[in-house]
Structures are given as structure tokens and as C-alpha cells.
Amino acid sequence: MLRGGGHGITLQNLDNLWTSALDSYTVSKQNLDRKSCDMYKMAESAQKRATGSRSLVLLAAAISFLFSVTLWFAGNELQGTFVGLWVPSILSLGSIVLPRGESS
């Protein structure tokens, strides 16, 4: 028997306490499978939204670039340069706002 602080603590009591604590925190396998499935679906939908948002940012940058080149060769060099500055601004905004994911 271990004596600590005036209380008699036996190894059997510690084992029973440990077992009861573990039993109170166990989750049924069916409940765990359902939760992991829900988490997977949420992660998958978030990844689809992020992919769509990245595509939108790249599309906006490409349109800005094409518009800039069109203005430049149409004789409006100053406006073409101004619109051309939108491309890095759009890409920078996209890199700041959009979440980063794992590279695959």
C-alpha cells in the first residue's frame, strides 16, 4: 500500500480510477466514423471553394493582362501601363486573402 498525504492509495484503486477515466472518454466506433466522414466532407467542400476562388483570381489577372496589352497596342500606352499594374495587385490580393493548402 502506498501512503501519500494521509490517504491510503492502493495500486488496485489507482487502476480502477484509471480504467473508469478511460471508459468515460471512449467514443463508439460508429459515432467516430460518422464524425470523421462529416469532417472529410467539410474539408472537401472547403477545398472545392478554394480551388474555385483561385481560378477566379487567375482569370481576373489574365483578363487584366489581355486588356492591358490591347490598350498598349491600340495606342493608349499610359492606360495600358496602368491596367498592367492591376495584374500583380490582383495576384497579391489573391495570395493574401485565399487560404493556403497542401501542395499535391
The string of pLDDT tens digits covering residues 29-63 is 555 565 567 777 777 777 777 777 888 999 999 99
Q: What is the pLDDT of residue 54?
A: 87
Q: What is the pLDDT of residue 104?
A: 47
- The DSSP output letter for 98 is S
Q: What is the pLDDT of residue 11?
A: 72
- Rg (Cα) of the chain, in Å, rounded? 30
71 compared with 42, residue with greater pLDDT? 71
What are the distances in angstroms from CA 78 to CA 19, 62, 65, 72, 87? 76, 19, 14, 8, 15
- pTM for this entry: 0.54
Mean pLDDT to the nearest integer, 19-38: 62
Sign of the torsion formed by the C-alpha atoms of 23, 38, 104 and 62: negative
Q: Where are the domains of the chain?
A: 53-98
For residue 66, pLDDT beyond 90: yes
